[in-house]
Amino acid sequence: MSDKKHLIEEFQRHFGASPTVYAKAPGRINLIGEHTDYNNGFVLPAGIDFSTQVVLSQRSDNNVTVVAQSMDSHDRFTLDNISKQTPRDHWSNYVRGIFWVLQQHGFSISGCDLLIVGDIPMGTGLSSSASLEVCLLQALSLANHLDLPPTTMATLGQQAENQFVGCNCGIMDQFICANAQQGHALLIDCQHLSSASAVVPEPLAIVIVNSRVKRGLVDSEYNLRRQQCEQACQILCVSSLREADLAMLEAAQHKMPELIYRRARHVISENARTLALKNALETSEISQISTLMAESHASMRDDFEITHPAIDTLVDIIASTIGQHGGARMTGGGFGGCVVALVPTPLLPTVKNKLAEQYFLQTGLHEEVYLCQPSQGVQGELLA
């Protein structure tokens, strides 16, 4: 990732002037709690040491010029007419959506020249889009003296993605990108937008394994899962699956299509697993951590049906290597992307070797393995 001095030099090269604002936001990994956020449930993510960085300077007109250096791409639009690009998950729609949502809320913002750099692998489920949204909101807040608190930035970023981009994501990604704590994961209550910190016990290390199967949240499957959860709520007569428990679900099973029952069972059981994992982290119950992560992955695979054969293979290789001494599961929205694992530090070389030996043979794909440090949420500063 480029340092701030290099970003300023790149901005000067592109725009012939110096930027006045700098912002940085992390990507995120989710230890447990998948597809629970839009059901008002619980999640347990952490910021990671992959990030998005933005530098900008304001203009005297309503034009916005964007250089996305990491993608070797650019965009231009005017604040008077912010339209969507095709395809709808094009990177520029996440930028345009932020300007759009600020205007929808009545904030006065000026045009600007903007340089974006990021090293979060796109399409991996590590929240490159939410990181971009929150980073840009921080930069625009500073430049236009909006004084946006982190959680406000999170809700604005979610609204931009829901209402402009067209993905009905929950609040988790934007919330952790805005509020992440150095060295900690956060248990987030997505109904009340409150959080409590958690520390991964030693000697466990957070490992991200990229399956190299690209995924995109803006697709019919993600939004379909949300619709299926809403259907379950209607049958259960609750406003969200946060209000339901397994006893209530079992009592109503005869009224539900089998598919809807399984979707609801995943969310309800995942909420319970998320709370249990927070407790297991605090008490260093490693075997319980292993069991909860394995159960979470099985639920995503069998009840919610959002994993991918390559992801299942990664989880199987890691789990068979570390046994009850750590855990592994898919992380992110699903249909590809990454696995998160909590691996005892002494076993890291063995896990890497097993993956290198077995993953390509079973899938024809080459994995990427990253060690992850829980990182700070969005930060920004005025440069001049």
pLDDT, tens digit, 9 for 90 and up, residues 327-341? 999 998 888 899 999
Report if residue 131 sits inside a domain.
Answer: yes
Position 349 in a domain: no
DSSP-based helix, strand, coil % in the chain, nearest 5 = 45, 20, 30
Q: Model-level pTM greater than 0.85?
A: yes
What is the model's pLDDT at position 219? 61
d(CA 46, CA 263): 25
d(CA 185, CA 200): 8
In a domain, 328, yes or no: no
Residues facing 320 on adjacent strands:
none
d(CA 266, CA 23): 37
Residue 187 lies in a domain: yes
Asked whether the CA dihedral 145, 146, 150, 155 is positive or negative, the reply is negative
Torsion of CA 304, 337, 194, 265, to 10 degrees: 10
- The answer to the question of residue 175 being in a domain is yes
Instruction: Note the helical H segments in the chain.
Output: 4-15, 91-104, 128-143, 150-159, 172-179, 220-236, 246-252, 258-283, 286-302, 309-322, 348-363
* 364-369: average pLDDT: 97
- Indicate whether 218 pLDDT > 60: no
Q: What does R_g of the chain's alpha carbons equal in angstroms?
A: 21
**How far apart, in Å, do the first and last CA atoms of the chain sit?**
23
pLDDT score recorded for residue 216: 52
Does 1 have pLDDT greater than 70?
A: no
Q: Rounded to an integer, what distance in angstroms lies between the CA atom of residue 15 and that of residue 115?
A: 9
pLDDT of residue 384: 73
Name residue 381's beta-bridge partners: 22
Instruction: Return the CATH number at 53.
Output: 3.30.230.10
Q: Give the residue numbers spanning the domain of 97.
A: 4-197+375-382
In a domain, residue 186? The reply is yes
301 inside domain: no
Closest to 134 measured CA to CA, from 183, 101, 163: 101
Average of per-residue pLDDT values in the chain: 95
Pair 207, 340: CB distance under 8 Å: yes
Q: Which residues are catalytic?
A: 173
Lowest mean pLDDT among 36-50, 109-123, 205-219: 205-219
Q: Is residue 117 part of a domain?
A: yes
How many domains are there within the chain?
A: 1
